[in-house]
């Protein structure tokens, strides 16, 4: 299968002729884990989103492969199936949220001293 972005072609190859599949439950768990990580402020949000982009493309590719020979009505079952995966993963996510997961790993904010601020302003002037 070929995917195109910005005029480039990407050939997705899979060993032994197997088809690529990114499961509904994996996607739901990944998004819930990302929400917990974002809550914890352990990583810059722009970096977190940038890391998600290729994973998102993989998920979309999986759905395109699966739905390519389906009618619109048949493809709607994929959306319903994904919603069920979120519903099944939600209790675990809610429990982890209530347990404070993500917050426990929050990095303390660095306090800037007056000395550090003066050094930074001097280096900008130079």
Model pLDDT, residue 44: 81
Strands 2-5 and 8-11: antiparallel
Query: Do residues 62 and 22 make contact, with C-beta atoms less than 8 angstroms apart?
Result: yes
Rg (CA), the chain: 21
Q: Where are the domains of the chain?
A: 21-106
Query: Tens digit of pLDDT for each residue in 45-92?
Result: 888 888 889 999 999 999 998 899 999 999 999 999 999 999 999 999
pLDDT at site 40: 72
**What is the rounded distance in angstroms from the CA atom of residue 63 to the CA atom of residue 29?**
17
**Higher pLDDT pick, 99 / 40:** 99
Query: What pLDDT does residue 11 have?
Result: 47
What is the value of pTM for the model shown?
0.65
Asked if 3 and 10 touch (Cβ cutoff 8 Å), the reply is: yes
Q: Is the dihedral of CA 115, 121, 124, 126 positive or negative?
A: negative
Please give the share of the chain, as a percent, with pLDDT higher than 70. 66
The percentage of the chain sitting over the pLDDT mark of 90, rounded to a whole number, equals: 33
User: How does the average pLDDT of the chain come out, rounded?
Assistant: 77
């Amino acid at each position: 299968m070929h995917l195109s972005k910005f005029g480039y072609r990407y050939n997705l190859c899979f060993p032994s002729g197997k088809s690529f599949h990114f499961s509904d439950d994996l996607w739901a768990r990944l998004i819930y884990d990302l929400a917990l990580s974002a809550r914890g402020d352990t990583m810059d949000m722009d970096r977190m989103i940038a890391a998600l982009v290729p994973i998102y493309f993989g998920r979309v590719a999986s759905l395109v492969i699966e739905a390519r020979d389906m009618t619109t009505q048949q493809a709607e079952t994929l959306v319903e199936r994904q919603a069920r995966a979120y519903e099944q993963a939600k209790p675990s996510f809610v429990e982890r949220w209530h347990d404070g997961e993500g917050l426990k790993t929050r990095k303390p904010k660095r306090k800037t001293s007056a000395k550090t601020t003066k050094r930074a302003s001097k280096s900008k002037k130079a």
